[in-house]
Structure 1
Amino acid sequence: MPAVGSDSVKGTAERREAQREYRPLWVEEPARRHPLPDPVRTAAVRALLVISLTLIQAMVAFLSTMAGSWLAFPMVISSVASTVVATWAVVDVWVTRQVWNQRYGVISEPSSTARALRRERRARRRQERAALREQERIRRRGGRERLSHP
């Protein structure tokens, strides 16, 4: 007679094997932050390429200077120019991001302060309308039912 737990052990092992087969490679999780907008991403990629080329150029300039090559002077000059271009590319990313945020980044949600102010304004208007209705009702009755009138 087989042990009581042997079938359950086999079933558990089979279930584990089945889970391994159907387990996805990755589980998508919601992003903490929104991805960069397309124009900003394009500017960032462009800046990254320019910066990496500038670093390569600076390294070649340094090594050719150490080697005493004729290529050293032109590479140093072009590295300085590339540094200016790389700085411009980084500023371009910053400006593009600011422009995009100004145009599309505003989320129109009233703040809790604005909501509270609106609520107070509505309550005040309700009270004013109720007072006007009361005055109108008194005027329609011609002052009857008031204690000051005989």
Structure 2
Amino acid sequence: MRASGLLAVGSDTVMGTAERRGAPRVGAREQQYYRPLWVEEPARRRRLPDPVRTAAVRAVLLIAVTLIQAMVAFLCTMAGSWLAFPMVISSVVSTIAATWGALDVWVTRQVWNQRHGVVSVPSSTARALRRERRRTRRQERAAERAQERIRRRGAAGQLSHS
């Protein structure tokens, strides 16, 4: 007898599909069905660098505190409390700090990209143009080498100029 619905759900996840349909039990070990709790998926975007992530967390905390202070200031104002004025002043200061925090994330990200480089994938047209330029440069160098070879051979092979 099962004491709670939680056990019933838990034991159903361990049972195989054949057992749930009423098929005869072959063996408890052979028939167990393993289903992972979650499936790992590759990340869509790369992880933020540590300094940028730190700045982002700081900014989110500042913005959250600012929103809470603004709500408390509004409620104190509606209630006519003496705390309304100090809360409004602190909300203004906190708004400035939250704006600074958001700008800090942006600046930190720009500095990180400048110092450590940005992974960029050139477009196919840019790649084709570079390939074409390389091909023409190689051809020019090969032609120059051939001309130089001809000049050297021509001078060495002659016995006289007359």
Q: TM-score, normalised by structure 2?
A: 0.71
Deviation, structure 1 residue 121 = 1.4
Q: Which residue does 2:148 correspond to in 1? A: 132
> Among residues 99, 112, 130, which one is paired with 1:114 in the alignment?
130
Instruction: Give the aligned residue type for 2:96.
Output: V
- Separation in 2 of the partners of 1:92 and 1:49? 13
Deviation, structure 1 residue 91 = 0.4
Asked which structure has the greater RCO (Cα within 8 Å, sep 6+), the reply is 1
Instruction: Give the aligned residue type for 1:13.
Output: A
- Separation in 2 of the partners of 1:60 and 1:39? 32
Deviation, structure 1 residue 47 = 0.2
1:92 aligned onto 2:104 = yes
Q: Which residue does 2:64 correspond to in 1? A: 52
Q: TM-score, normalised by structure 1?
A: 0.76
Distance 1:87 1:19, change over 3 A: farther
Instruction: Give the aligned residue type for 2:130.
Output: A
Deviation, structure 1 residue 122 = 2.1
Runs of 4+ in 1 over 6 A off after TM superposition: 17-20
Q: Which residue does 2:37 correspond to in 1? A: 25
- Separation in 1 of the partners of 2:40 and 2:31? 18
- Separation in 2 of the partners of 1:60 and 1:114? 60
Instruction: Give the aligned residue type for 1:61.
Output: A
- Separation in 2 of the partners of 1:115 and 1:107? 20
1:75-86 correspondence runs (5 A): 75-86=87-98
Percent identity between the two aligned chains: 67
- Separation in 2 of the partners of 1:108 and 1:84? 35
Count of aligned pairs: 133
Q: Which residue does 1:42 correspond to in 2? A: 54
Instruction: Give the aligned residue type for 1:72.
Output: A
Cα-Cα RMSD: 2.9
2:106 is paired with a residue whose SS is helix
Unpaired stretches in structure 1, ≥5 consecutive residues: 1-11
Q: Which residue does 1:8 correspond to in 2? A: none
Deviation, structure 1 residue 95 = 0.2
